[in-house]
Structure 1
Amino acid sequence: MEVYKTISELRAGISLKEDVFGKTKYPIMRKDTELTLEHIDVLQAFGVKRVKVEERVTQKDIPESEKNSSVNAEDILDNLPVSMYQLRKEYNEAVRSYKKEFSYWRAGQRPDVPKVRGFIIPLLEKFIKQKRMLTMLNDFSNAEEYIYHHSVAVGILAAAISSQMGYEKGDALQLGLAGALADCGMAKIPPAILEKTAFLTKEEYNEVKKHTLFSVKMIQDTPLLRQDMKLAILQHHERLDGSGYPRGEKMDTISVFSQILAVADVFHAMTSERLYRLKQSPYKVIEMIKEEEFGKFDIKVVEALHRLVGNLSIGTRVKLTDGEVGEIMFIHRDTPLRPMIKKESDGTIIDLATHRSIAISKIIE
């Protein structure tokens, strides 16, 4: 339920339903921020009088007259945010199921798409609702089972990005399923290459590049994926500047769904720990995709990802890549991923816009 509340009526756990301005040109807090006590203190400090919020309904908030009504109670409780623990448990179950299916594909079986759909779609739906959990996907993964985590995570990210871009739920779930199956062709790549703990040779990399063709061939007969989704699987390693594979496609010949899969794929790959390198900060990776990889990805897709996982606000507690913990004090308009941070250890303020070797590692809930 969306209502306006005065600052004195706020409590931790309430979500903002519109951007908040504190006599400032730019928002001091963004829509969908889940308030903490520190956020409420910042609102008071900026002289904000009232804000539009959405209150969460809990079991104790349900009237006694409705508690015996299974329809009313279930409808309300279905909209409750799931706990991180429960969501991670369901995510791990999906990874285990995917790993089992992958072993069948290695043995020569075609993907049982209805089965994959059965354990992927419910997870996609939960992550689309719980977008703040997306920043934790790289923490869920591990290097030894990366390929299974990667496929599940790419599906989740693709569904969330397409939803953020305004696509209908059906399109988002279709693309999420396509994302989960995009690397099924990896089952045809020799395990010695996939499990190698060093960088691949040129010959080995050329073998890996065949996986998009294998993936499309393995799922081409399923009626559960539309043709545009099958094309997205084929093209998810293509780049707008023609530097991708398997065909070196350029610009308009690459579909927007392919681009969404491409951004989801590279973001999770760069933020996850691999056998041959450490993971990188999600915020630094978004910055790298925007700057160092400029021209390769659809900027609308990258901006949607930015809004999903990199939408920072004043008052948020963060951990930096050097281990320091601090609070966001100011966000630069031109470099929003590099705000000014007040360190908790000594109270000094560090401007990440000038200290480029340091970045935000993660938000502290």
Structure 2
Amino acid sequence: MENYKYLSELRPGTVIVEDIYANTAFPIVRKGTTLEIEHLEVLDLFNIKRVKVEERIVNRVQTEPREIGKTDTISSDIDELLENKISRSSDLHKMYKKAVNDYKREFTSWRSGVKLDIAKVRLLIMPLLETYMEHKKMLVMLNEYSNRKEYLYHHAVSVGILTAALATELDYPKGTTLQLGLAGTLTDCGMAKVNPALLEKAAFLTKDEFAEVKKHPIFSYQLMQDSPLLRQEMKLAVLQHHERLDGSGYPRGDQAEKISQLSQIIAVADVFHAMTCERVYRAKESPYRVAEMMKEEDFGKFDSRILDALYEVIGTPSIGDKVLLTNGDAGEVVSVNHNSPLRPNVKLQRREELVDLTTNRSIAIEKVVN
């Protein structure tokens, strides 16, 4: 007998009866798979709500240390660990969704001419900043929460969280970290003064349209300039968050030492989240591929110390980590390449094949699923 079960109802030993996709070319879990703990974590990471399963549990007897594809014991300890993990993830996601909805409400009011109330934004983002500092491993999942329709609101909340995480990694004092996280959340508040049709346009913007969108850092600064709740250096960071060290940014084309490090932290968080999310004109990218692109292809635009901090924030793969690759394969990291920490050697789960990601540049890590 077959039926659908929610993720929270699944247990190791449950048999999947249909391929499961998650905006991927290949299934993330294949039909006929007997679920292991690792599979449940994969489903959780991809935000799969429910799956079709057989009404039976395969008993599994553990004879050696557990690996993907080997036997497992369905113990109450494992069940409790899984339930706690799902519960923590679910609770954090609920907090995140509430913050996004609250920010959307505020943004809508700014569009109608209501004055920016930084105290309200501070109230909605501070609990998340504090919580994510204690759940660092969840940071790499932020792009999974976003969606194309409400990207603008997800982006604001996620940039605030990532900005605070980067500042923490760079050893800024907690007070500065929280202020900068608040500034990160407000970087795009000026988008409320941009024609909404331009923000929702699926086609490429014309030169004049893009020039209008590029005014949003100035609009953001103007909206917050009179508030005493944000330090002046934070307001400057908002104004400069689209400036680049090589002078290729906007609105003023500032470069090098003219750009504050605080604004560079927001810039890295802003670009990283934007590139990892689905947009009206672009599919989302792997966080690991994006971090690598920012360091290699955009060399000279961002402070290398902040990019190093980004690597630490998203977590570089370690030997023994179970990973999903961008081509749909799953495997285990068997060795790391210190010159390319996001491109380890991976032993594929199904084909017993070793893949060196430094030479297979078309493939990257999609998820670490420990």
Aligned residue for 1:114?
Answer: 119
**Among 315, 323, 327, the residue aligned to 2:328:** 323
Q: Residue 188 of structure 2 aligns to which amino acid in structure 1?
A: D
CA distance in structure 2 between the partners assigned to 1:118 and 1:295 by the alignment: 36
CA distance in structure 2 between the partners assigned to 1:345 and 1:242 by the alignment: 48
Deviations 1:308-344 (A, max 9, x none): 1032111111110001111111101111111011111
CA distance in structure 1 between the partners assigned to 2:172 and 2:359 by the alignment: 37
Aligned residue for 2:53?
Answer: none
Secondary structure, aligned partner of 2:347: strand
Secondary structure, aligned partner of 2:343: coil
**Among 143, 156, 161, the residue aligned to 1:138:** 143
Deviations 1:38-60 (A, max 9, x none): xx879xxxxxxxxxxxxxxxxx9
**Among 93, 107, 111, the residue aligned to 2:98:** 93
Q: Residue 257 of structure 1 aligns to which amino acid in structure 2?
A: L
1:210 aligns with 2:215: yes
Q: Residue 169 of structure 2 aligns to which amino acid in structure 1?
A: Q
* Root mean square deviation of aligned Cα: 1.8
TM-score (norm 2): 0.77
CA 1:261–1:81: 2 relative to 1, 3 Å: farther
Aligned residue for 2:258?
Answer: 253
CA distance in structure 1 between the partners assigned to 2:204 and 2:278 by the alignment: 14
| Structure 2 counterparts to residues 303-318 of structure 1, below 5 A | 303-318=308-323
Q: Residue 248 of structure 2 aligns to which amino acid in structure 1?
A: S
CA 1:176–1:82: 2 relative to 1, 3 Å: farther
**Among 190, 198, 202, the residue aligned to 1:185:** 190
The answer on whether the counterparts of 1:271 and 1:285 sit within 8 Å (CA) in structure 2 is: yes
The answer on whether the counterparts of 1:329 and 1:342 sit within 8 Å (CA) in structure 2 is: yes
Q: Residue 117 of structure 2 aligns to which amino acid in structure 1?
A: D
1:164 aligns with 2:164: no
Aligned residue for 2:340?
Answer: 335
CA distance in structure 1 between the partners assigned to 2:94 and 2:208 by the alignment: 38
CA distance in structure 1 between the partners assigned to 2:332 and 2:86 by the alignment: 25
CA distance in structure 1 between the partners assigned to 2:158 and 2:208 by the alignment: 28
| Structure 2 counterparts to residues 183-332 of structure 1, below 5 A | 183-332=188-337
The answer on whether the counterparts of 1:283 and 1:310 sit within 8 Å (CA) in structure 2 is: no
Secondary structure, aligned partner of 2:350: coil
Note the C-alpha offset of 1:135. Answer: 0.4
Aligned residue for 2:107?
Answer: 102
Aligned residue for 1:50?
Answer: none
Q: Residue 178 of structure 1 aligns to which amino acid in structure 2?
A: A
The answer on whether the counterparts of 1:342 and 1:350 sit within 8 Å (CA) in structure 2 is: yes
Q: Residue 369 of structure 2 aligns to which amino acid in structure 1?
A: I
Aligned residue for 1:19?
Answer: none
The answer on whether the counterparts of 1:110 and 1:219 sit within 8 Å (CA) in structure 2 is: no
Secondary structure, aligned partner of 1:132: helix
4+ residue runs of structure 1 moved beyond 4 angstroms?
A: none
Q: Residue 112 of structure 2 aligns to which amino acid in structure 1?
A: A
CA distance in structure 2 between the partners assigned to 1:236 and 1:347 by the alignment: 45
The answer on whether the counterparts of 1:81 and 1:130 sit within 8 Å (CA) in structure 2 is: no
1:358 aligns with 2:363: yes
CA distance in structure 2 between the partners assigned to 1:171 and 1:299 by the alignment: 21
CA distance in structure 2 between the partners assigned to 1:339 and 1:255 by the alignment: 34
Aligned residue for 2:18?
Answer: none
Deviations 1:193-252 (A, max 9, x none): 001112222111111000000000000111110000000000000000000001100111
Which structure 2 residue ranges, 5 or more long, are not aligned?
Answer: 1-36, 38-61, 68-79
CA distance in structure 1 between the partners assigned to 2:178 and 2:86 by the alignment: 19
Identity of aligned residues (%): 55
The answer on whether the counterparts of 1:240 and 1:296 sit within 8 Å (CA) in structure 2 is: yes
1:124 aligns with 2:143: no
The answer on whether the counterparts of 2:163 and 2:180 sit within 8 Å (CA) in structure 1 is: yes
Pairs aligned (count) = 292
CA distance in structure 2 between the partners assigned to 1:82 and 1:171 by the alignment: 31
Aligned residue for 2:41?
Answer: none
Aligned residue for 1:46?
Answer: none
Q: Residue 275 of structure 2 aligns to which amino acid in structure 1?
A: M
Note the C-alpha offset of 1:137. Answer: 0.3
The answer on whether the counterparts of 2:137 and 2:315 sit within 8 Å (CA) in structure 1 is: no
Secondary structure, aligned partner of 1:83: helix
Note the C-alpha offset of 1:109. Answer: 1.3
The answer on whether the counterparts of 2:122 and 2:182 sit within 8 Å (CA) in structure 1 is: yes
Note the C-alpha offset of 1:162. Answer: 0.2
Secondary structure, aligned partner of 2:280: coil
CA distance in structure 2 between the partners assigned to 1:88 and 1:198 by the alignment: 31
TM-score (norm 1): 0.78
